[in-house]
Amino acid sequence: MTPPFAPGGADFPSGKARLHVWSSFRRQNAKGPTWVCVPINGKKAPVSDLPVSPPSAAPSPSSTLSRVDVLAVDDTPANLRALEVLMADLGANVITAASGDEALRLLLEREFALILLDVQMPGMDGYDTASLIRMRERTRHIPIIYITAFNRSEVNVSRGYELGAVDYLFKPIVPEILRTKVSVFLELHRKKEEVRRQEALLRQAESRAHAQQLAEARAHYERSLLQQEVERERKVSEAREQRAQELAKLVQEKEQAQAELSAVAREREQLILALREADRRKDEFLAMLAHELRNPLAPVRHALEVFQLRAPQDEILQRAFASADRQVSHMTRLVDDLLDVSRITRGKVEIRPRLVTFKEIVDGAIQACDPFIQQRHHTLTVSLPEEPLILNVDSTRMTQVVANLLHNAAKYTPSGGRIELTARRDNADLVLSVRDNGVGLRPEMLQRVFDLFVQVDPGSDRAQGGLGLGLTLVRSLVEMHGGRVSAHSSGLSQGSEFIVRLPLPAEATAPLALPNMLKSAASNGLSLRPLNILLVEDNPDIRETLRDLLELHGHHVAEASDGRAAVELVLSQRPQVALVDIGLPELDGYQVAELVRASAGGADTRLVALTGYGHPEDRKRALAAGFDAHLVKPVSSEDLSQVLKRLCNAA
């Protein structure tokens, strides 16, 4: 009789949950064995106090199964006891651990068929524990089932599968599901162990058979001196035939064992293919998400620039427009960060270094973070050396580094706190320090704080928003520039300090005049006359706001809302520049470019792709189709003007 189980659960603080299950025990009475069900929730009577069947009772189903070890890791004792009860009759020795460290120690001492691993644990969480397990050759192939109180939308399922998880169980746990999944892996482990045992037996049998054959051969040789030659040949023939049969049997058994192992390999390969497909779908979703978020941002940015050009020179209005423009830029950066998640892990973030003063980078970062710092009523002090420090860096990315450090300090410092930004030259390095008197860091977080999606104080961070990418981007970008970053803190409520070291260029002549020289060269060498521009965009808001912005800059603008009309207008009007959206009806932007380049009448028109897709692969595809430039929405008038200057002056 299968004992009944009923699932239940209750939320605990910090995202934890206690497993509520009903455990059954057989008890013998005058009318025969009956089942007694008692709740196991960590507060009831222990199992040892409950009535159980006497020794004369029928053996439980687990007595017919070979016992294997299962490791259950959870920082809640009640949850561990519930798991022990659930697997009591599955032939499993449930070994429990209350933390990731204890689990790693147990894995050094013994082997396990399966690991049930809680995701949310203090100190080392389930993901970090799984990562360390996978680093050790002896334990990297043990299947792991994650147990979590978060729902599927909250938990980082992709990361768990990347670390070797085979499944997730979400609390409250349905006992039948847990028992079924655990039984599958226990049975798989037993089959593997049986295969190993059979192989050992086969090797032993072969060794014994070989020894026996040697003894028989020696005895036969001694007898052959007294027997006739015919008898000796007969014995030898029989021995050979017997040996051939034994070898054939051994080969058959070995082939059978290999067939069973290949079935396991095929299942593993199918799982790997499924994970790769899930990763591909994730990348496609992020690309589509970025495209759908960029399209609404484009008309907002264009409208803001139109307002700034047409609105009266009112200081309050200009400040409001500037603030809104910074927020649009911030939203654009968040969209880019979403796409950078996969590229960060593969080290494919692109940087474009140029000579820039460190003060320009600090000014840009402070301008981006000042609204948030003022909102939190913090005091920001900045101390820079008197000598101008010249860096050869990607100014946008390095401004993002400093801004992320300031934003992080403001976020984790209580209202009215103090933030200090200092910089100094140390031989051939620039040393930047951002210090605060905020919540501080525990010692174990000083290294983990730079990991992907790690948040120091989840409760506080969710109140302020954030993806847990800021410090990860800081480390990646600093290291890509040949530098390094470190975190320091005396403990909780003692504040934190982040120190960045960047190499200075070997030579930097005329540092004071360099920024002005660059701006002067840009303005004098790239003057732009009014152009005849064809704007091809099916979104009316984007088309109309960008048209108004171009006309305010003195250009003559014609419009088209689909790809077929765009080709006709290019070939008939021959504009100097065509700004073409990629996602057009009838003919998409790539087809428009190919048709225009295939015609002699479209050779002189410069084609610029406007798209919400910003992957490097999208840029390569646009250039291969015949575009001269590729811009990602939302496009600022400054970026667009620079592209138009470059293309038209080059013509």
User: What is the residue-wise DSSP string for 496-532?
Assistant: EEEEEEEEPPS---STTTHHHHHHHHHHHHT-----E
Higher model confidence: residue 528 or residue 474? 474
pLDDT for the residue 33 = 40
On whether the CB atoms of residues 495 and 436 are closer than 8 A, the answer is yes
* Residue carrying structure tokens 């403001």: 410
Residue 164's pLDDT band (boundaries 50, 70, 90)?
confident
pLDDT for the residue 594 = 93
Q: Is the pLDDT of residue 106 over 90?
A: yes
In the structure encoding, which two tokens stand for residue 310, read together? 């047409």
554: left (phi over 0), alpha (psi -120 to 50) or beta: left
Beta bridge partners of 170: 148
Q: What percent of the chain has pLDDT over 70?
A: 77
pLDDT for the residue 373 = 92
Task: Number of helices (H) and strands (E) in the chain: give both, helices first.
Answer: 18, 20
Burial class (CB in 10 A: 0-12, 13-18, 19+), 483: buried
Q: Is the pLDDT of residue 296 over 80?
A: no
Tell me the per-residue pLDDT of 309-319, one tens digit each, with 9 for 90 and over.
776 677 777 76
Q: Using CA of residue 183, residue 184, residue 185, residue 186, what is the dihedral sign?
A: positive
C-alpha to C-alpha distance for 535 and 333, rounded to whole angstroms: 25
pLDDT for the residue 200 = 87
Contacts of 200 (CB under 8 A, 6+ apart): none
499: left (phi over 0), alpha (psi -120 to 50) or beta: beta
473-483 mean pLDDT: 89
Packing angle, helices 315-346 and 229-310, rounded to 10? 170
Query: Sheet harboring 606-611: ordered strands across?
Result: 556-560, 532-536, 577-581, 606-611, 629-632
Return the CA Rg of the chain.
35
Q: Is the pLDDT of residue 16 over 70?
A: no
Dihedrals phi, psi of 40, to nearest 5 degrees: -115, 105
Beta bridge partners of 406: none
Lowest-pLDDT choice from 26-40, 123-137, 324-338, 348-362? 26-40
Tell me the per-residue pLDDT of 568-604, one tens digit each, with 9 for 90 and over.
999 999 999 999 999 888 899 999 999 999 998 888 8
* Residue carrying structure tokens 């519930």: 82
Q: Is the pLDDT of residue 222 over 90?
A: no
Residue 281's pLDDT band (boundaries 50, 70, 90)?
confident
Beta bridge partners of 432: 423, 500
Tell me the per-residue pLDDT of 377-413, one tens digit each, with 9 for 90 and over.
999 999 999 888 999 998 888 998 999 999 999 999 9
Write the DSSP assignment of 551-573 as a string of letters.
HHTT-EEEEESSHHHHHHHHHHH
416-423 mean pLDDT: 95
In the structure encoding, which two tokens stand for residue 447, read together? 């290294």
Lowest-pLDDT choice from 272-276, 310-314, 520-524? 520-524
71-83 mean pLDDT: 92
Query: What is the average pLDDT score of the chain?
Result: 79
- Candidates 173, 184, 110; CA nearest to 143 is 184
pLDDT for the residue 458 = 46
**Secondary structure of 252-285 in HEC code, one letter for each residue:** HHHHHHHHHHHHHHHHHHHHHHHHHHHHHHHHHH
pLDDT for the residue 112 = 92
C-alpha to C-alpha distance for 142 and 164, rounded to whole angstroms: 9
CA atoms within 13 A on the CB side of 608: 24
Residue 504's pLDDT band (boundaries 50, 70, 90)?
very high
Tell me the per-residue pLDDT of 343-388, one tens digit each, with 9 for 90 and over.
655 556 677 888 999 999 999 999 888 888 998 999 999 999 988 8
Dihedral of CA atoms 512, 515, 519, 524 in degrees, nearest 10, equals 40
303-307 mean pLDDT: 74
Contacts of 246 (CB under 8 A, 6+ apart): 209
Query: Sheet harboring 68-73: ordered strands across?
Result: 92-97, 68-73, 114-118, 144-148, 165-170
487-497 mean pLDDT: 92
Q: Is the pLDDT of residue 460 over 90?
A: no
pLDDT for the residue 273 = 87
Tell me the per-residue pLDDT of 226-237, one tens digit each, with 9 for 90 and over.
778 877 788 888
C-alpha to C-alpha distance for 220 and 614, rounded to whole angstroms: 83
Q: Looking at this protein, which amino acid is placed at residue 304? A: L
pLDDT for the residue 399 = 92
Residue 327's pLDDT band (boundaries 50, 70, 90)?
low
pLDDT for the residue 471 = 86
Whats the size of the chain, residue-wise? 651
pTM (two decimals) = 0.41
